[in-house]
Structure 1
């Protein structure tokens, strides 16, 4: 199996030239502002000032504060999904076929990405966001459950439907704890611990 290529929006590269650079600058500035003060207290003015841009440029690229927040979230989710898919693909390339082992490898990739994006993990999993954001998160979580169900072949197990919900929920909660770890060493220890627990639960 070929290793998946990086998601197109992993580092804001939509289009080329000045427009793409401005979009990237606005997203980077929005990330800093949202992480610093939260969604509610963030302002369009603070974002564009940090980006060295105009209010009009933000509205041109995103439409408003809620839209730039959602764009950040979508890119974050794309990176998490890609990181999980990469690990599953690598495991399959090495000859691994056991569904539980593949799930654990994907969970490790996801958790490692949660650590790399620790600031955004804390922001998005903390529940702050524009109206409708939590509903969007629930839809994303439901899609994770569907994907994970296929990966562990939930339909072939007596408890498959319940198991995949439990495993997906535990992995998501683990991501928040990994992101909040005081040091990278502690985060790595937590990732090992969570993956070990997930493997034991899935194997029962």
Structure 2
């Protein structure tokens, strides 16, 4: 005897399932017998009696129904195919219209964006131009106050320097050139002074030669 509770519960569950399936099978068989006795068998008996009593009519009805079933396959399939085609076409047209609407909206938004950006660019250009003109006017007034009428020339020169490209020399190049020129001038001056001022040894030689 197996005392395992898990095995016992599994066995009990299987027994309950088997009994439930057996009961369901009995119920289905009972309903099948009822349908067969009350509906299916009387209908078959009636059709058989019709065939025996009116064979020509029942043959005609059977052929008609068979022909109808065979010929109705094509229209039914055509209807199903046309329905699927209409559904797919409607979805495609709807998607096409939706895509066209999205493209139109995006084009409109892009046009508005470009117009706004162009307006901002023009506004920035105008503001910058007026700012530069105001600055140049202010500088002209300053030069006129300081230098009088000669300030116009200086103002024009500085304005030209602002708006023209000026070659920038490396830092320290001017200092090096000026220092080199100064050293060269100092060296030349030293040589000239040495040539002009007689040295003591030279004066002694000249005095001894004269004696």
TM-score interval, smaller chain:
under 0.3
Question: Which of 1 and 2 has higher RCO (CA within 8 Å, sep 6+)?
Answer: 1
TM-score calculated relative to the size of structure 2: 0.22
- Larger radius of gyration between Structure 1 and Structure 2: 2
TM-score calculated relative to the size of structure 1: 0.23
Higher helix share: 2
